[in-house]
Homo-oligomer: A and B are copies of this chain.
Amino acid sequence: MAEISANKARTIIRKALAKGDEMGFKPLSVVILDAGGHVKAFERADGAAPGRFGIAHGKAYGSVMLGMAGTAQMARAEQQAYFMAAVNGVYGGQVVPVPGGVLVRDKRGAVIGAVGVTGDTSDNDVIAAMAGIEAAGLIGEA
């Protein structure tokens, strides 16, 4: 399956967390999913709340399953709240439709997975995610 390799996943996590530290963000949690929405790697920084895996996962999972990153999901949720609520029914309540869910593409534009970051504001979560994805030589769509 198309996926972010374990090596690249580790780079994304390390660099996203480092970006957060550098910017003075609150402790972040970072998940990497493959192109089928399955967990490849995750790390929760010391000091982050215990439930952060689920939020990071929900941001990335919706991105993969719908082929639509967090910013676009949020726009849809604001226009048509009942649609995103229904989507969550279909996907077992596993979708968190806000920025911080970032689609990852390879050089030819194919989706190979997604990154989900949570812990600070949604906008700051995106900054950390993009720093990680770029450090791994991949292309993010927030």
**Which A residues have a C-beta under 8 Å from some C-beta of B?**
1-3, 5-6, 9-10, 34-46, 48-51, 53-55, 57-58, 64-68, 77-78, 80-98, 111-112
* Chain A contact surface mostly: mixed
Measured CB to CB, the closest approach of chain B to A110, in angstroms, equals 8
Measured CB to CB, the closest approach of chain B to A63, in angstroms, equals 9
Residues of the B chain whose Cβ atoms lie less than 8 Å from the Cβ of A2? 1-2
Copies of this protein chain in the complex: 4
Residues of the B chain whose Cβ atoms lie less than 8 Å from the Cβ of A85? 81-82, 85, 88
B77 touches A51 (CB 8 A): no
Residues of the B chain whose Cβ atoms lie less than 8 Å from the Cβ of A84? 82, 86
Residues of the B chain whose Cβ atoms lie less than 8 Å from the Cβ of A41? 42-44
7 shortest A-B CB distances, which residue pairs?
A36-B36, A89-B93, A49-B67, A51-B65, A1-B35, A39-B53, A38-B50
Measured CB to CB, the closest approach of chain B to A15, in angstroms, equals 14
B36 touches A50 (CB 8 A): yes
Query: Chain B: which residue is nearest A5 at the CB level?
Result: B46
Most B CB within 10 A of own CB, among A65, A84, A92, A98: A65
B51 touches A38 (CB 8 A): yes
